[in-house]
Chains A and B, each alone.
Chain A
Amino acid sequence: MDLNFTSEEEAFRAEVRLFLAEQLPARIADKVRTGKRLTKADMVEWHAILNARGWLANHWPVEWGGPGWSVVQRYIFDVETALAHAPRIIPFGVSMLGPVLLEYGSDAQKQHWLPRILDGSDWWCQGYSEPGAGSDLAGLKCAAVRDGDDYVVNGQKTWTTLGQFADMIFCLVRTDPKAKKQEGISFLLIDMKSPGVEVRPIILLDGEHEVNEVFFTDVRVPAANLVGEENKGWTYAKYLLTYERTNIAGVGGSMAAFDWLKHVAGAQKKAGKPLAVDPYFAARLAKLEIDLENMKTTNLRVLASVAHGGAPGAESSMLKIRGTEIRQEITALTRRALGPYAQPFVSEALDEGYNGEPIGPDYAAPVAAEYFNNRKLSIFGGSNEIQREIITKAILRL
């Protein structure tokens, strides 16, 4: 039993830190740290910086542009970038579609799409959920019918994150309506500029436009954009959902958010003393910190089993549940720390260059909105209820 990283891994951590110190634009890190809105340009800029170093698709094989890192190196990278307040890597192309193409795509598809993911030519979004197919994803209805060299797509996708920026969408579509529901699904790549594609914004409870509905009306998609075999899409979909799981606990993000919470609790005053030393609040902070420390080790234990040849299976459901609960509790406590100043919400204060005088403490502006927005964490990516079902069946065998 040795909980330390090796000297090689520590050297790697130093390399990542040096890179971040030199290459992560302070302007962008400052926005992430203070909860300001990132623009598409900010996200594209950070992707380009990572890609220039060869670190953008850090879980891809070397031959396709990956750096050849171990899972532990990837973990270190995730934690260090989060602690440095780097934007997250937008996962749709790099972490979702990329692995599916690498595993199931044709050579032509890999050669065409993978470099375009890396250099930012295509912004991808995900076409999985539908209004009637959420937790029951295999119940999806969006239909693709073969017509000559094309598929003709009709239907609707929803909760399409950042779809308003996207050039392309990877979709699960129904190609055999008569088959068992998991067996009639195909995996199709669709150009968002095709005639018949319409994107409508969904405004969330914090007033933000982050997700969308995407409607398809007689959209013609070249059959060359079918990934793998027709009606085998469910296999690819599941592969996508279980592939990139080393960061599912979001430990780095939670560590950074917890540091910020401690900063806020130290600055907030109760009866003239820092809120962080108030026994009631201190107990909440302590419980959360203990949970986070436990999570870090649970996460590393799962990673270690992968590094030594084991496969991360249903354990990732544990990481997802507890990881998102911890992150939600951090945002809940940050909200609680603000006291009355959690209530004011000046949306423009989250834009870069806003010069208005802050209402209350200068860190207050995004806090309540982030709490409400982060309710999504236990809903998306397979709701925590679905994750518990997976644990019940796959680990507990009940």
Chain B
Amino acid sequence: MDFNHSDDRQMLADTLGRYLAQKYDFETYKRIAVSESGFSRETWGALAELGIIGALFGEEAGGFGGSGFDISVVFEALGRALVVEPFLGTLMAGRLLADRHDLLEQVIAGTSILAFAHFEPQGRYDLTELATTAVRAGDGWVLSGAKAVVPQLEAADHILVSACTDGGLGKSAGLSLFLVPADAAGVTVRGYPMIDGGRGGELLLKDVTLGADALVGPENDAFDGIEATVAAGIVALCAEAVAVMAVLRDATLDYLRTRTQFGVPIGKFQALQHRMATVALEIEQARSAVINAAAALDGDRWHRERAVSAAKFTTGRVGTLTAEEAIQMHGGIGMTWELPLSHYAKRLTMIDHQLGDEDHHLERYVLLGTEAGEA
């Protein structure tokens, strides 16, 4: 039993943490988060140079990491600084592109950015409810459909798109993945700001004609890969969430110690002490859930999926508690744009709206529990 990271991984975390502390302070965040592009290409390049993107991928894909704990240390550091750059899409799309060595080399070098466009407007958080279709045309394919709320879609040079190649809605069979250049004819990106900073976008595909080489992975059999890469995305988001929680906890503790009312620091009031104790212990529970999920990421499907749904449920529940209590215990000042606190609270709340919320993953955990193959 050892709950410490390996030396290499710890060094990576320290390097990233130091860089972000120096170059991605709150003022920088505020500037980038509401900017026209919603991210900084310069920052992206610098983080690539530090090896942060390479850490998200295994050696077979040209990276030097890619395990659950590599992902969690990176996203924890990113979460602490509220980094809005397109790491999540790059992680999820990149893991499915392991055999595209040339492209991944550019991705790891920071010269090419990926988005993962899977969820659809009618599908909520369902992994299989797809209406986007890909139809064979000659040697290639024609794609049509719509994808919903893709993080940093406008930043992407290549978009990994899921589509039905056989069968209808609500089925995990008959799905395939396609690599779509962002500038392909028939691709429309509608970008918009997100309430927690950065940008997202709606992807419209209208008779997008692609060559045979656009197909990624096995035809009609993409679901397992999609589920596994979403699991990695969930580990990333949960790690980010726990880091955000820790920032909120520390800021609130600091406030409880320094804000004076009725002649004493408000942290002297037992009513607040006990609530803060609850927040602190729940955050530790959430951290444990993330460790469980990161450890299970590279294991068998059933244990992996149970662990990631448990983690996403836990961080969703604890995230809401932590964000709301942090604002409440700060009072009015916790509601202001000026203080970092409200931005962390918004980010934490919105993580529950990505890749399935608390209710979605509780239901999923229940369903997985009733599945036969739990050996």
Contacts and interface: CB of A to CB of B under 8 A. Distances in A.
Interface of A: 129, 132, 134-136, 139, 158-159, 202-207, 211, 268-272, 275, 278, 280-281, 284, 332, 335-336, 338-347, 357, 359-360, 368-369, 371-372, 375-376, 378-380, 383-385, 388
B301 interface: no
B9 interface: no
A385 B362 CA distance: 32
Given A271-B126, A344-B194, A385-B272, A135 B331 contact: yes
A129 to B, nearest CB: 7
Contacts of A335: 349, 353
Interface string B256-268: 0000111000100
B328 A339 contact: no
A383 B331 contact: yes
Contacts of B261: 134-136, 139
B170 A272 contact: yes
B233 to A, nearest CB: 13
Contact of A378 (B169, B328, B359): B328
What secondary structure prevails in chain B residues at the interface with A? mixed
A375 B148 contact: no
24 contacts: A135-B261, A135-B262, A203-B336, A206-B195, A271-B124, A272-B170, A278-B359, A332-B320, A335-B353, A336-B357, A339-B124, A340-B149, A340-B354, A342-B195, A343-B195, A359-B202, A372-B335, A375-B324, A376-B335, A378-B328, A379-B327, A379-B328, A379-B335, A385-B269
Contacts of A357: 190
A388 B269 CA distance: 13
Contacts of B119: 340
B122 A343 contact: no
A275 B122 CA distance: 12
What secondary structure prevails in chain A residues at the interface with B? mixed
A6 B194 CA distance: 50
A205 B359 contact: no
Nearest to B272: A385
Contacts of B266: 135
Contact of A343 (B320, B328, B353, B363): B353
Contacts of A284: 359
B262 A136 contact: yes
A372 B344 CA distance: 12
A343 B345 contact: no
B41 interface: no
Given A269-B124, A345-B193, A369-B195, A336 B359 contact: yes
Contacts of B331: 134-135, 379, 383
B129 interface: yes
A207 B149 contact: no
Contacts of A207: 337
Nearest to B125: A339
A341 B365 CA distance: 23
B337 A343 contact: no
A129 B332 contact: yes
A360 B335 contact: no
Given A135-B331, A343-B149, A343-B354, 4 more contacts: A135-B266, A202-B336, A343-B195, A368-B195
B271 interface: yes
Contacts of A368: 195, 349-350
Interface string B90-133: 00000000000000000000000000000101101110010000
Given A269-B122, A343-B200, A205 B149 contact: no
Q: Pick the most buried of B332, B336, B346: most chain A CB atoms within 10 A of its CB.
A: B332
Nearest to A206: B195
Interface in B336-354: 336-338, 342-343, 345-346, 349-350, 352-354
A204 B337 contact: yes
A340 B345 contact: no
Contacts of B170: 271-272
A385 to B, nearest CB: 6
Given A136-B261, A336-B359, A372-B346, A344 B335 contact: no
Contacts of B352: 336
B196 interface: yes
A334 B7 CA distance: 45
Given A139-B261, A205-B342, A344 B200 contact: yes
B64 interface: no
Contacts of B193: 344-347
Contacts of B202: 359
Which 10 residue pairs spanning A and B have beta carbons closest together? A205-B342, A345-B195, A136-B261, A340-B149, A203-B337, A280-B359, A339-B124, A368-B195, A344-B192, A342-B353
Nearest to B362: A280
Contact of A339 (B190, B269, B357): B357
Contacts of A270: 124, 126
B328 A340 contact: no
B337 A344 contact: no
B332 A380 contact: yes
Given A339-B353, A343-B353, A345-B195, A205 B126 contact: no
B192 A346 contact: yes
B328 to A, nearest CB: 6
A270 B123 CA distance: 7
Q: Pick the most buried of B271, B349, B354: most chain A CB atoms within 10 A of its CB.
A: B349
Contacts of B357: 336, 339
A207 B269 CA distance: 32
A134 B359 contact: no
A126 B195 CA distance: 30
Contacts of A359: 190, 192, 202
B336 A205 contact: yes
A205 B353 contact: no
A341 B148 CA distance: 8
Contacts of A332: 320
Contacts of A134: 261, 331-332
Nearest to B269: A385
A360 B124 CA distance: 11
Contacts of B121: 341, 360
A113 to B, nearest CB: 28
Contact of B125 (A340, A378, A379): A340
A388 B270 CA distance: 13
B34 to A, nearest CB: 9
A87 B78 CA distance: 42
Interface string B350-374: 1011100101001100000000000
